[in-house]
Amino acid sequence: MRDEKPLVSVIVPVRNGQDCLANCIRSILAQTYEKIEVIIVDNASTDRTGEVCGEIAAACDNVRLLTLEEAGVSRARNAGIDAAAGELLTFVDADDRLCPDMLQMLYAGMSDTGSDVAGCGFFEWSGEEEWLAGTSRERDTPAGTDAAHPAGYTVYDAQGYLRDAVLCGNSRCWSKLYRREIFDRVRFPENLTIGEDMLFLVRMLSFVNRIAETAQPGYGYFRNPAGAMCRGFTPDYMDQITCWQLAREEVLRIDRSLDAQVTALYMTGIMLTAGKIAMLPPVERRAQGRYVRVCHESLREAVRVPGARSRLSAGYRVKTALFARWPRLYLLLYRAQRALH
């Protein structure tokens, strides 16, 4: 990189975020890394979000506003990418916030390790006390990271990152800084609503050489009780299965030895989806029979992959065995068990 710091474009998709957006943007504008632009993408909000966006953009020269018809978070991110002027890009959800040093930390990690992507840890919060506690944590090098690199960064090649990060739970697109050139080759899948972050990362790995990660927390993730993973079942929830099917195809293309690992995650996604269906009222649950069949057929195919079930926890091994043989009984037992708690 040149001695002069590059511009970082911070892309913030938002829908009906009137109560949280201003604090999110304040946390971005308070970054110690000063050469930034903020692109707010208002995705057809029906509350005062558009007005809040307009006020912020009018008050700050480095904040821009895009307005879309309703198209989903992936379309909003892609629109932000198209509008971005920065050499480096990052994504922030509108109800989340950044610690003041996050961008500087990621830029330093990327620059000093020659990586195409740099990522950091995160902490969860749901109220102002938790947010303040998270931002006041000591910035020590976390245990288990490579002290030879700045801020305890561990540097991966693409295959190692897939095996040891993405397939071990680090499947978020936020809390990361990316070189712009990556987005000339891959974008967020716009026809999916759950799992799109993970699928983007898996596809991205074909176009990067090195990724640097630190466990140092720089991103504050808001625990939203109305988030997609906390809501009841809708047909869009089947996207979780579709994403894992597509991701498995990509993973096998990169490294077939990871088949058992990725298939175990695929099975977990199937069972989570089946659990959502199980919690529907009886009449609604019966109406979702075709989705139950998709879950059942997908699981029966997945359990044939050698070594996949052995990677599941004991509880999930029992669940998959029961659902694979008696899907309707499983749904009834799952609902009854949850009712006891």
Is there a single domain that holds both residue 28 and residue 77?
A: yes
Decide if 2 is inside a domain: no
pLDDT given at position 302: 97
User: Which amino acid, one-letter code, is at 14?
Assistant: V
Each residue's pLDDT tens digit, 26-48:
999 999 999 999 999 998 889 99
Does some domain include residue 227?
no
If asked whether residues 147 and 281 sit together in one domain, one would say no
- Average confidence (pLDDT) over 96-123: 96
Residue 265 has pLDDT above 70, yes or no: yes
Q: Exposed, middle or buried by CB within 10 Å (0-12, 13-18, 19+), for 144?
A: exposed
Helix (H, G, I), strand (E, B) or coil at 179: strand
Mean of pLDDT values over 260-284: 96
Range of the domain at 161: 8-222
Residue 87 contacts by C-beta under 8 Å, 6 or more apart in sequence?
Answer: 6, 7, 8, 179, 180
Residues 239 and 325 grouped into a single domain: yes
Q: Which of 16-30, 123-137, 141-155, 209-223 has the lowest average pLDDT?
A: 141-155
Residues 6+ apart with CB under 8 A from 312: 264, 267, 268, 320
Write down the pLDDT at residue 141.
46
- Residue-level pLDDT at 227: 58
Given a cut of 60, is residue 142 above it in pLDDT? no
The number of domains in the chain is: 2
One domain for residues 145 and 186: yes
Residues 38 and 81 both lie in one domain: yes
In a domain, 101, yes or no: yes
Sequence-distant (≥ 6) Cβ neighbours of residue 86 within 8 angstroms: 6, 7, 8, 9, 36, 37, 180
This prediction's pTM: 0.91
Last residue of one domain, picked from the residues 222, 243, 259: 222
Instruction: Give residue 262's identity as a one-letter amino acid code.
Output: V
pLDDT of res. 149: 52
**Residues 22-27, mean pLDDT to the nearest whole number:** 95
pLDDT of residue 226: 63
Q: pLDDT at residue 247 above 90?
A: yes
Q: Is the pLDDT of residue 320 over 70?
A: yes
- Model pLDDT, residue 143: 43
Is residue 3 in some structural domain?
A: no
Would the pLDDT of 99 be above 90?
yes
Q: How confident is the model at residue 249 (pLDDT cuts 50, 70, 90)?
A: very high
**Does 146 map to a domain?**
yes
Residue 1 lies in a domain: no
Summarised one tens digit per residue, pLDDT across range 74-87 is 999 999 999 999 99
pLDDT for residue 192 is more than 80: yes
Residues 240 and 207 in one domain: no
Whether 284 and 209 map to the same domain: the answer is no
- pLDDT on residue 1: 45
pLDDT band with cut points at 50, 70 and 90 for residue 4: confident
Q: Which of 203, 222, 241 is the C-terminal boundary of a domain?
A: 222
Same domain as 105, residue 42: yes
- Region 138-157: mean pLDDT is 63
Of 171, 200, 222, at which residue does a domain stop?
222
Tell me the CATH number at 65. 3.90.550.10
Portion of the chain with pLDDT greater than 70, in percent:
93
Q: Are residues 166 and 281 in the same domain?
A: no
Q: With respect to residue 323, please indicate whether it lies within any of the assigned structural domains.
A: yes
Burial of 202 (0-12, 13-18, 19+ CB in 10 A): buried
pLDDT at 294 > cutoff 60: yes
Question: What are the backbone dihedrals phi and psi of residue 91, each rounded to the nearest 5 degrees, phi first?
Answer: -125, 140
For residue 197, is it within any domain? yes
Q: Do 244 and 154 fall within a single domain?
A: no
Cα dihedral 261/266/268/274 (nearest 10): -170
Q: In whole angstroms, what is the distance from residue 321 CA to residue 324 CA?
A: 5
Same domain for 302 and 200? no
pLDDT of 202-231, one tens digit each? 999 999 999 999 999 999 999 876 655 567
pLDDT for the residue 239: 95
- For residues 55 and 188, membership in a common domain is answered with yes
